[in-house]
Amino acid sequence: MGFIKLLGSLLILFSTTWMGFYHGSRYSSRLKNLVYMEQCFKMLETEIVYGATPLPEALHNIHRKGNRKISFIFRDIREHLMEHGRGDIFYSFSSIIKPLKDDLHFTAEDIELFLSLGRVIGSSSRRDQEKNFQLILNQIGFLQEDAKDERDKHERLFKNLGILTGLAIIIILL
């Protein structure tokens, strides 16, 4: 009997701890992904401003060179663009809102910034594009700081909360 109780308690503890860690890790993964995103944006800027590479090709290059964790979104945008060919790039950018949110743990603010790139990219001269990129990179810096704060605040909290909730449940049940 005691053995089953112990097993049950451990099971509860494991699952709540896992939940706590999972929830907490969303914050650090958001931060990481924002950093990768910044790198990809910088690469994209170089392709556009210095290389004057046509956008579909530039997106392809970022997919190849960028960090694997997030570079798939550039492939998806390109594919969407080529497939639909509506002459509207913002439409293709907004087609990947779901993976941004679910897979990369981006917040509404992050996604808004990402979409704001979709509104301006490709649609003006190189000098203009450079300015837009600067603005967006600047903002992504703020978002990273925000993500860092959030992580420091919440990651520990959720992890501890997971363990403690598990312990609390076990005590109540025992």
> x-or-dash pattern for other proteins, window 82-121, by CB under 8 A?
---xxxxx-------------------------------x
Whether 67 and 75 have beta carbons less than 8 Å apart is answered as no
> x-or-dash pattern for other proteins, window 50-79, by CB under 8 A?
--xxxxx-x---------------------
DSSP state of 122: T
Q: Which of 126, 141, 149, 156 binds other proteins (CB under 8 A)?
A: 126
Q: Is 144 in the site for other proteins (CB under 8 A)?
A: no
CB within 8 Å of 134: residues ≥ 6 apart = none
Q: What is the DSSP string of 21-85?
A: HHHHHHHHHHHHHHHHHHHHHHHHHIIIIIT---HHHHHHHHHHHS-HHHHHHHHHHHHHHHHH-
Q: Which of 122, 142, 145, 156 binds other proteins (CB under 8 A)?
A: 122
Q: Is 134 in the site for other proteins (CB under 8 A)?
A: no
Q: Residue 56 CB, nearest distance to other proteins (Å)?
A: 7
